[in-house]
Amino acid sequence: MKVLTIGDIVGESGVKKFKEELPKIRAEYNIDFVIVNAENSAGGMGITTKIFNDLLNLNVDVITMGNHTWGKKDIFSFIDHPKLLRPANYSKGVVGKGVGIYNCKDKKIAVIDLIGRTDMNVLSDNPFTKVQSAIKNVKDECDIIFVEFHAEATAEKIAMANYIDGKVTAVYGTHTHVQTADEQILENGTGYITDIGMTGPIDSIIGMDKEASIKRFVTSLPERYKLAEGKCMLNACIFEINDEDCRVTSIERIIRK
């Protein structure tokens, strides 16, 4: 089985790039299951009903969110859709769900969406304690477990991967929008990469207009972010899984410009 994980879609131009590239990647690599992060897909913050429906029409299997989950009020009209996940470690009682179980090729795949706490400016429960309870709740119901960790700090992501190594099939990071070159299979068999990157404008600072972004750092004053324009790239990662023992056998990074 091959699972394709798509890095954070940034803006409507990122959505367009995703639409163009997904059918090609599916055909080229014989992809079975697709997870895409869409928390930045609407103007760089949140997701709209239109974009959500566009992604569903592409037959993606899971749409994940992160710190910009509530960026567009549209989401409250489809937050309970079975293909949509928001971070599982949001406070108890928050609408939506952070864990889903899906069928694929006679296997059941659990996907757990988590958000980090280091430098994220989001009030959330401890992802390390939450992931333990989430794994316990799904392990007897599924064959494969994927954990998406939407986090800023590299150390926090690596710590999470090692914390649950051997208990899940794969852990991959999102949020920083920069694809890392550290794909590996950990000691106890869990596949891991710190960040799968983004799908959005190339000539940018993590998808945002360069001038506005630089001004924030130079002046230390608040400056409204705006999306960059121009040619886009798609970042993704393919996890190949052995059908017999449901372990990751290989990890391949994808960059499409």
Q: Which two tokens stand for residue 62?
A: 């899971």
Q: What pLDDT is recorded for position 225? A: 81
Average pLDDT, the chain: 97
Q: What is the pLDDT of residues 141-200, one digit of tens each?
A: 999 999 999 999 999 999 999 999 999 999 999 999 999 999 999 999 999 999 999 999
Domain that holds residue 108: 2-256
**150 is annotated as an active-site residue:** no
Q: What pLDDT is recorded for position 82? A: 98
- Selected catalytic residue, list 68, 150, 175, 177: 68
Q: pTM for this structure?
A: 0.97
The number of distinct structural domains making up the chain is 1
CATH at residue 235: 3.60.21.10
Q: What is the pLDDT of residues 102-127, one digit of tens each?
A: 999 999 999 999 999 999 999 999 99
